[in-house]
Amino acid sequence: MNPTRMIYEDTPPSIPVPEALRHRRTEVIVWPLDDSAAPESLTSPSTVMIPTPRPVGLANDRGVPLPDDFFAPLPEEILAAFIGER
């Protein structure tokens, strides 16, 4: 598949992803084509967004629901197997 290139004269608040590229490993590069300098807010390291972890069970309508004891400590015999004692 060839890359898709879209040039906007006035960048919208959100950019649509072509259907053929959805749900795939994709690289998105935003590169301004004018000569104006980037605002300080885009170049400052303090504006780097660190994603927050997604909560467990976000897709309750898919898969198997988590049991109530999902986060309980493992039994000793299973824990021993994980650390190589069995």
Task: Domain ranges for the chain, please list them.
Answer: 1-34
The whole-number mean pLDDT for each consecutive block of 10 residues of the chain, a chain of 86 residues, reads 76 83 82 70 58 69 77 90 82
User: For residue 46, what pLDDT is reported?
Assistant: 54
50-56 contacts at long range (C-beta below 8 A, 24 or more positions apart): none
pTM of the full predicted structure?
0.34
User: For residue 20, what pLDDT is reported?
Assistant: 81
| Length of the chain measured in residues | 86
User: For residue 14, what pLDDT is reported?
Assistant: 85
Nearest to 21 by CA among 34, 2, 44: 2
User: For residue 8, what pLDDT is reported?
Assistant: 81
The answer to whether 38 touches 32, Cβ cutoff 8 Å, is yes
- Which residue is associated with the tokens 């608040």? 13
